[in-house]
Amino acid sequence: MSIEELKTIKFQLMLSEAEAKAIDDWGSAHKIRSRAEAIRRLCTAALELDAHANAIDEALGSLETQSYSFVERVREMSRHNDPRKNDRLALVATRSSENIFSVVNDLTIDLDAVLGAALAIRTADTLDKAVEALRENRRQLQEISKALADKRAKALAERERLRYVDFQNASRWIEDAVKVSESEIADADEVVVDAVKAWLVEAKAIKARREQEDLAREQQRQRQRDEADKSK
């Protein structure tokens, strides 16, 4: 819809007394000058709501799925006697919370669009101004959505890049090396560098081993899913 577009289409609309009264009451409550203007605004609001309805429904469904999946994963992991259970639970919790917050952010944007449309339709002096406000609101929400998507992608890439890297262990390596060397801190440059190199070698080995274990577990889960599908 364009605010410059002329309103040249006429058609007859049949309303019940209750429907007409509801429209007139809405228009009067928001100081809208005519029934025709009130109907145009309500149509615009309905179209804006419909444009976001599927996205809101999908986001709510995804939110329910993500929450259920998190609970099930925690239950599954709690049944195993794994010495790294707490680490794995923490990782699952982190991933699930990021996924849930991502869905909530998307849902919030769509809800903001709908609420912004309702506010603009109710309060703008004319429908043209309301449409202009809707367009600006949509542009701002698109910018916010893109910024959030970029931030999520960057966080995900960083998390995957540094997964299983224990930086606290690096500080322990440095502390132990400096203590054993009995060097003054002002003269400990080489000791610290060697400690960091040793930690890095260990960190690479741990990361490679843990990633291989993750791959083996995922392959096992996939085999179980395939067997379950075959038995249906």
Q: Read off the pLDDT of residues 194-230 as tens digits, 9 standing for 90 and up.
A: 999 999 999 999 999 988 988 898 898 888 888 888 8
| pLDDT tens string 75-122 | 666 666 565 666 666 666 777 777 777 777 777 777 777 777 777 777
Q: How much is the mean pLDDT over the chain? A: 81
| Other residues' Cβ atoms within 10 Å of the Cβ of residue 221 | 11
Dihedral (CA of 205, 210, 97, 105) sign: positive
Specify the pTM.
0.51
User: What is the rounded distance in angstroms from the CA atom of residue 155 to the CA atom of residue 161?
Assistant: 10
Distance CA 35, CA 40 (A): 9
Q: What is the pLDDT of residue 86?
A: 65
Q: What pLDDT is recorded for position 205?
A: 94
Q: What is the DSSP letter of 80?
A: S
Radius of gyration of the chain (CA): 29
Give the burial class of 186: count Cβ atoms within 10 A of its Cβ; 0-12 exposed, 13-18 middle, 19 or more buried.
Answer: exposed
Helix (H) or strand (E) holding 154: helix 127-161
